[in-house]
């Protein structure tokens, strides 16, 4: 069995499963957020009763992150609905925007979008926050009401996005009926060269198979090249499995995975026992390829979908209006370090926005120093509009006052993960997906630019 099949077999209480089997699997974790949480709660109450209790309080994680820093009252209200539910159910894992458990969330537009407006428990973008807060354990099954839930596959989980109806059912029963997906195998060899990032790897892979090339399939990444990828890198790759239609993305477990997970579970006092799945000689794949990391080049997915692969060096004719670094995929500390490495001592010439995925990342950037400056200061000095309000921001457009949102038909190069029409705001805007390094180089020239031009 493949890594995915092994996890699903175990979660279904079976010795063996194969692609196409329909099995009831036990969930280890259900995650929801402010966009889908209220709907999920509505389904749960409708189907299980107004006084029903969730199947396991320790296994429900609620993370407001999407439409947070906006004066839109209905968006603010969604966070209040989550808070009311958490109080009613006594849920321990709720990463609220405010500190007062009886309060109401109201974004103060007068303070502006840049200065911190969240409390001590706020965790930022759910997919980046889950591992930081010690909720991703190898070998487990994670369901989330968000398509990029597959990001947790970086930690050797079966993690997948589900809709509100399924989530309401999981909330009540802890189970879900799943069809076992076929597995596509991506063996990684070699090591990426300077200027090339994990984003280039996954954009290359999606370009190979198309934006629907992995529909309802698992994408398994393994091989000797994995050792050179940090956990942040693996998260970027697994996150974008869904951009090829994948049911999930999954990495092999190794010493790096173990060190990260053990540290985070201990730090947060979350459950520390887990049982990873490992490869064996019996794996059967529906697709098998080798990706040589040392052959990769800075890559861009052009408008209008993540499969429109081109090399950055071929796109110098595309003039840009905006650059954006942020999201679960591209707003991690390592992403901002590569962004800052290119921008240090220079000035961007187009509007450039930076949104850390989590408050912990904001803190990292405001404390880590290169010389006598923090990374944050380097970016601000380069002309980047950096917000402390970590969250999804303009990655999915959001209300019109969302930081970085494209309210007119602009062309933007972005370190986010999805570029279908209208994704970051105006329906006639165009989004070019790229690594933070490519976004940085492009922000300096106003045209899509290969970051290797700025490497000394």
Rounded to 5 degrees, φ, ψ at 84 are -60, -45
User: Is residue 196 a contact partner of residue 342, using CB atoms and an 8 Å limit?
Assistant: no
Binding mask 368-407 for ligand SF4 (x = CB under 6 A): ------------------------x--xx-----------
Mark the segment that binds ligand SF4 (CB under 6 A) among 56-64, 123-131, 167-175, 274-282: 123-131
Question: Scanning residues 65 to 84, which ones bind ligand SF4 (CB under 6 A)?
Answer: 66
Q: Among 5, 28, 34, 146, indicate the residue that binds ligand SF4 (CB under 6 A).
A: 146
Q: Among 242, 328, 365, 410, indicate the residue that binds ligand SF4 (CB under 6 A).
A: 328
* 410 is an interface residue for ligand SF4 by CB under 6 A: no
What six digits make up the tokens of 250?
Answer: 């999954």
d(CA 438, CA 324): 11
Binding mask 25-64 for ligand SF4 (x = CB under 6 A): ----------------------------------------
* 423 is an interface residue for ligand SF4 by CB under 6 A: no
User: Is residue 81 a contact partner of residue 50, using CB atoms and an 8 Å limit?
Assistant: no
* 148 is an interface residue for ligand SF4 by CB under 6 A: yes
H helices of 90-211, where?
126-132, 164-173, 198-209
SS3 at position 46: helix
To the nearest whole angstrom, how small is the minimum distance from the Cβ of residue 273 to ligand SF4?
28
Q: Strand locations in 259-303, DSSP E?
A: 287-292, 299-301
Q: Which is nearer to ligand SF4, 141 or 433 (CB)?
A: 433
* 443 is an interface residue for ligand SF4 by CB under 6 A: no
What six digits make up the tokens of 429?
Answer: 């805007």
d(CA 81, CA 75): 10
Q: Which is nearer to ligand SF4, 148 or 199 (CB)?
A: 148
* 424 is an interface residue for ligand SF4 by CB under 6 A: no
> What does 19-38 look like in DSSP terms, one character per residue?
TT-EEEEE-SEEEE-TTTHH
| β-bridge pairing 29-32 and 141-144 | parallel
Mark the segment that binds ligand SF4 (CB under 6 A) among 71-79, 111-119, 121-129, 247-255: 121-129
d(CA 233, CA 235): 5
What six digits make up the tokens of 205?
Answer: 């892979």
Number of residues that bind ligand SF4 (CB under 6 A): 13
What six digits make up the tokens of 174?
Answer: 């802890």
Question: Scanning residues 282 to 301, which ones bind ligand SF4 (CB under 6 A)?
Answer: none
To the nearest whole angstrom, how small is the minimum distance from the Cβ of residue 206 to ligand SF4?
15
d(CA 364, CA 251): 26
Nearest to 206 by CA among 300, 88, 321, 130: 300
Mark the segment that binds ligand SF4 (CB under 6 A) among 4-12, 40-48, 119-127, 252-260: 119-127
Q: Strand locations in 319-383, DSSP E?
A: 322-326, 351-355, 369-370, 373-374
Q: Among 117, 327, 333, 419, indicate the residue that binds ligand SF4 (CB under 6 A).
A: 327
Q: Which is nearer to ligand SF4, 8 or 392 (CB)?
A: 392
* 125 is an interface residue for ligand SF4 by CB under 6 A: yes
| β-bridge pairing 141-144 and 287-292 | unpaired
To the nearest whole angstrom, how small is the minimum distance from the Cβ of residue 424 to ligand SF4?
9
To the nearest whole angstrom, how small is the minimum distance from the Cβ of residue 327 to ligand SF4?
4
SS3 at position 173: helix
Q: Among 6, 10, 83, 127, indicate the residue that binds ligand SF4 (CB under 6 A).
A: 127
* 180 is an interface residue for ligand SF4 by CB under 6 A: no
**Contacts with ligand SF4, residue ranges (CB under 6 A):** 66, 125-127, 146, 148, 327-328, 392, 395-396, 416-417
């Amino acid at each position: 069995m493949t890594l995915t099949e092994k996890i699903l077999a175990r979660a279904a209480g079976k010795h063996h499963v194969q692609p196409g089997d329909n099995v009831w699997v036990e969930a280890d974790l259900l995650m929801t957020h402010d966009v889908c949480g209220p709907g999920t709660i509505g389904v749960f109450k409708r189907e299980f009763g107004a006084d029903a209790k969730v199947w396991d309080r320790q296994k429900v994680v609620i993370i407001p992150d999407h439409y947070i820093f906006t004066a839109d009252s209905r968006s603010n209200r969604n966070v209040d609905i989550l808070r009311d539910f958490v109080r009613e159910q006594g849920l321990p894992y709720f990463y609220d925007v405010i500190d007062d458990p009886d309060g109401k969330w109201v974004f103060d537009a007068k303070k502006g979008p840049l200065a911190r407006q969240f409390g001590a428990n706020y965790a930022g973008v759910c997919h980046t926050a889950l591992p930081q807060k010690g909720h991703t354990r190898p070998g487990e099954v994670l369901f989330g009401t968000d398509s990029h839930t597959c990001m947790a596959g970086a930690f050797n989980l079966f993690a997948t996005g589900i809709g509100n109806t399924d989530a309401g059912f999981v909330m009540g029963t802890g189970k879900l009926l799943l069809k076992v997906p076929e597995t596509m195998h991506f063996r990684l060899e070699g090591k990426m060269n300077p200027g090339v990032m994990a984003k280039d790897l996954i954009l290359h892979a999606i370009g190979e198979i198309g934006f629907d090339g992995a529909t309802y399939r698992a994408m398994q990444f393994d091989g000797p090249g994995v050792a050179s990828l940090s956990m942040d890198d693996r998260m970027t790759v697994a996150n974008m499995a869904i951009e090829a239609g994948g049911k999930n993305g999954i990495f092999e477990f190794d010493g790096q995975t173990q060190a990260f997970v053990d540290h985070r579970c201990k730090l947060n006092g979350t459950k520390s026992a887990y049982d990873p799945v490992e490869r064996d000689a019996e794996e059967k794949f529906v697709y098998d390829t080798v990706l040589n990391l040392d052959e990769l080049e800075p890559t861009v997915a052009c408008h209008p979908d993540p499969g429109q692969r081109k090399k950055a060096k071929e796109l110098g004719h595309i003039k840009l209006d905006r650059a954006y670094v942020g999201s679960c995929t591209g707003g991690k500390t390592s992403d901002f370090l590569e962004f800052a490495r290119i921008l240090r001592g220079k000035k961007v010439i187009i509007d450039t926005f930076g949104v850390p995925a989590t408050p912990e990342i904001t803190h990292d950037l405001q404390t880590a120093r290169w010389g006598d400056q923090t990374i944050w200061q380097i970016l601000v000095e380069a002309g980047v509009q950096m917000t402390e309000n970590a969250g999804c921001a303009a990655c999915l457009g959001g209300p019109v006052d969302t930081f970085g949102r494209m309210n007119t038909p602009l062309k933007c190069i972005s370190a986010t993960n999805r570029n279908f029409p209208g994704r970051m705001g105006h329906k006639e805007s165009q989004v070019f997906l790229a690594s933070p390094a490519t976004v940085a180089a492009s922000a300096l020239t106003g045209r899509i630019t290969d970051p290797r031009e700025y490497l000394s």
